[in-house]
Amino acid sequence: MGHYTFLTIVGVVFIIGQIIRTAIKERHRNEDEALTNTVQEKLESLEKRIQVLEQIVTDNKYQLEQELAKLADEQKEH
């Protein structure tokens, strides 16, 4: 086997290795993007739920304060 044949084989193996490495990186990047999208969707869903819960808590607090004030006024009248 001559030097040029050996260098050609090494070069081809190197190029094939780089192609495989790039393909693996691309696959992982796609998986990471899918995971990121899933996490982002879940985060948005949870944020919406928190907004609804905050609305419920603040509305109930306001109503409770109004009812307590009404009861206090009734107690003062009697």
Q: Measured between alpha carbons, how far is 11 from 17 in angstroms, rounded to an integer?
A: 10
What is the domain extent for residue 30?
1-75
> What pLDDT was estimated at residue 22?
92
User: What is the token pair recorded at 48?
Assistant: 């919406």
Number of domains in the chain: 1
**Tens digit of each residue's pLDDT, the chain (78 residues):** 788 899 999 999 999 999 999 999 988 888 888 888 899 999 999 999 999 888 877 777 778 888 888 888 888 876
How many CA atoms within 13 Å lie on the side-chain side of 54? Answer: 6
User: CA dist 62 to 48, 53, 58, 69, Å?
Assistant: 21, 14, 6, 11
